[in-house]
Amino acid sequence: MQASRKKQNYIVNAPRRLAHISTMIKTKYWKNKEFQICYKFLMRAKYSIDAKYRASWRQKMRQIMPEKMRAKYVGDPTYRMAHQQKMRARYAGDAKFRATHQQKMLTMKHVKRADHQLQQRTDPVAAFIQHMQEGPIYTCVSCHRHLYRQTVVKLNLSRYKPESRQLLSAMLAVSNSKKDDQLYICRTCQTQPSAMSGCHQRSQARRHAQAAASH
């Protein structure tokens, strides 16, 4: 009777006992250098001979490492710079890596766009609020009005007919936008290329009228 109760207690207390042992090992591991070396050696040996342990270890690493490395990348500037340099060198020298990276970026871009479109469709109110909070910070390259995000689209010159493209290029040349700036065009100027110059002229005329009125 006594023995069976002891056994029962032993089973019931197993998780607590294991946690205690684990804490003890961890403490010893960080305090005792010699123990650390022995423990590492033992675990390496186990890793090389025990396939089940190896598989579970790999699984665990796959789960925790990306987050750990990301935290290190964000929090450690030296590591970040070294990593960027390493990646840049690899990108330049390794064609396979470059192709994989480009494919990954393209997929990410598509996923991001799909997410955005889904949000617009499923939660248009949230999208609207977000745009309103941003304010009218998007300038149309053609009519130069400052607009909300939902009334402009990203400018892609290659989509325009040669004459519209030429006009837009001329406007961009005199504006002070940098080469890498993301440029936007309002939906009016975008969908009616013929009205583009009209829209521009209207805004010019408005500006002239305002200037004349202030004199």
**Which parts of this chain interact with Zn ion (CB under 5 A)?**
140, 142-143, 186, 189
Which of residues 101 and 131 has its CB atom nearest to Zn ion in the complex? 131
User: Degrees (nearest 5) of the Cα angle 114, 119, 124?
Assistant: 140
Torsion of CA 199, 174, 156, 112, to 10 degrees: -110
Q: Residue 196 CB, nearest distance to Zn ion (Å)? A: 7
Separation between Cα atoms, residue 73 and residue 62, nearest integer Å: 17
Q: Residue 142 CB, nearest distance to Zn ion (Å)? A: 4
Separation between Cα atoms, residue 47 and residue 59, nearest integer Å: 13
What are the DSSP E strand ranges found in 101-213? 138-139, 146-147, 152-154, 184-186
Q: Residue 187 CB, nearest distance to Zn ion (Å)? A: 8
Q: Residue 140 CB, nearest distance to Zn ion (Å)? A: 3
Which of residues 83 and 145 has its CB atom nearest to Zn ion in the complex? 145
Separation between Cα atoms, residue 11 and residue 181, nearest integer Å: 66
Q: Residue 181 CB, nearest distance to Zn ion (Å)? A: 16
Q: Residue 212 CB, nearest distance to Zn ion (Å)? A: 23
Which of residues 39 and 193 has its CB atom nearest to Zn ion in the complex? 193
Q: Which single residue is written with the structure tokens 């939660």? A: 123
**Contacts for 72 with CB less than 8 Å, ≥ 6 apart:** 79
Q: Check: CB of residue 47 under 8 Å from CB of residue 57.
A: yes
Which of residues 168 and 186 has its CB atom nearest to Zn ion in the complex? 186
Which of residues 143 and 168 has its CB atom nearest to Zn ion in the complex? 143
Which of residues 140 and 155 has its CB atom nearest to Zn ion in the complex? 140
Separation between Cα atoms, residue 9 and residue 76, nearest integer Å: 47
Go through the chain and tell me how many residues it has.
215
Give the pair of three-digit tokens for residue 72.
């290190």
